[in-house]
Structure 1
Amino acid sequence: MSNLELEIKQLIIDSLDLEDLSCEDIDSEEPLFVDGLGLDSIDALELGLAIQKEYGVKLDSDSEENRKHFANVKSLAALVAQHRS
């Protein structure tokens, strides 16, 4: 697991108040929404804002790409890494 994936897992836990989870409980390839972690649309908004604030990644709320970027921790890490370079 990369450091960035670990950071994003901690960001998910902190921004969504998931105190009963640890980073080790979240599989990087597990879906974040519905199945897997079971997040909902409100969680998506909060997580999107946290990603913008922490990493400066601008997200277009109408973009179909968001579904792909927010699929799992690995895809979020790839999005952040892309914006860092």
Structure 2
Amino acid sequence: MPVEKSIENEIAELIVETLNLEDINPSDIDFDEPLFYDGLGLDSIDSLELSMVLSSQYGFQLKSDDPNNKEIFSSIRSLAKHVKLNKA
């Protein structure tokens, strides 16, 4: 019986695959670690790519002008919480 992956694990894998983070294993990512700057070191282009993949994967639109984006994209855990609340 397959074990269901958590949304956090799915998002970690999507980040590594989508952004070609060759030196990072999804299982090594701390779900509370910042995604940008000091954490994983993602940038604004990465956030656009990630938004498109997440929108496609989970069936809802992440909007670039959402005032909550800083919080939504602060960590994998906060991104997963947003996905759980909004996925189709």
Match of 2:44 in 1: 41
Higher alpha-carbon deviation: 55-64 or 29-38: 55-64
Instruction: Give aligned-pair identity as a percent.
Output: 46
TM-score by length of 1: 0.91
Residue in 2 aligned with 1:66?
69
In the aligned structure 2, how far is the partner of 1:64 from the partner of 1:16? 24
Residue 57 of structure 1 and its aligned partner are, at CA, apart by: 2.2
Alignment partner of 1:82 is 2:85: yes
Larger Rg: 2
Report deviation, 1:84.
3.4
List gaps (5 residues or longer) in structure 1: none
RMSD value over aligned CA atoms? 1.4
Which has a greater percent of helix? Answer: 1
Aligned length: 84
Aligned partner of 2:73: which letter? F
The whole-number CA distance in structure 2 between the counterparts of 1:68 and 1:7 is 19
What is the SS of the residue equivalent to 1:59? coil
The residue correspondences of 1:5-24 to structure 2 (distance < 5 A) are 5-24=8-27
